[in-house]
Amino acid sequence: MSHLTGKRVAILASDGFEESELLEPLRALREHGAEVDVVSPGSGTIQGMRHFDKGESVKVDRKVGDASAGDYDALVIPGGLFNPDALRNDDDAIRFTRAFFEAGKPVGAICHGPWVLVNAGVVEDRELTSVANIQRDLENAGARWVDREVVVDQGLVTSRTPKDLPAFCAKLVEEIAEGRHAGQEAAA
């Protein structure tokens, strides 16, 4: 189960991330041999949420302003309501996210996470899913939104909610193992 050995993955998150949407991909990636860093606009720790209640805090490994997509093989953006809303308004987070698409590297986003992709300008003509209440935002940005537990479009892996995490994590591991995707670069 170590087919991600040698791969380095960034999980981009801030306060208000949905706990399971960060911790379950983190666990799955590490179980498959990947080195994973939590990257955030600030340093120290970030506060997770279990829907509307406080959950676990997670240690930040690297500030996004000091991070480069060149240091990583893939990016994961967990959801939660507050996390993606903060990230989509952070210039360093947007720059960091866009750079993964420009390099054709796999990206995973779940729940409200695709909000960050909208502000990064990378969803036009892409098929993806998300939590249903941001469907219109994605469509207005040019995405083709579908209601499925997991959608893969040239290295971009998206899912709707925590109930989709098993499928999301499995496809994420698969896409990262495959490496760069030429179609991902075309979308940036």
Tokens, residue 75: 């990016």
Strand partners, 8: 35
Tell me how far apart the alpha carbons of residues 133 and 68 are, in angstroms, rounded to a whole number.
Answer: 31
Which of 60, 75, 76, 152 has the alpha carbon at shortest distance from 110?
Answer: 76
Is-catalytic flag, 111? Answer: yes
Q: Which residue has the tokens 């240091």?
A: 71
Among candidate residues 32, 51, 111, 181, the one labeled active-site is: 111
**Residue 56 is which amino acid?**
E
Is-catalytic flag, 112? Answer: yes
Tell me how far apart the alpha carbons of residues 146 and 142 are, in angstroms, rounded to a whole number.
Answer: 13
Among candidate residues 3, 51, 112, 169, the one labeled active-site is: 112
User: Which are the catalytic amino acids?
Assistant: 111-112
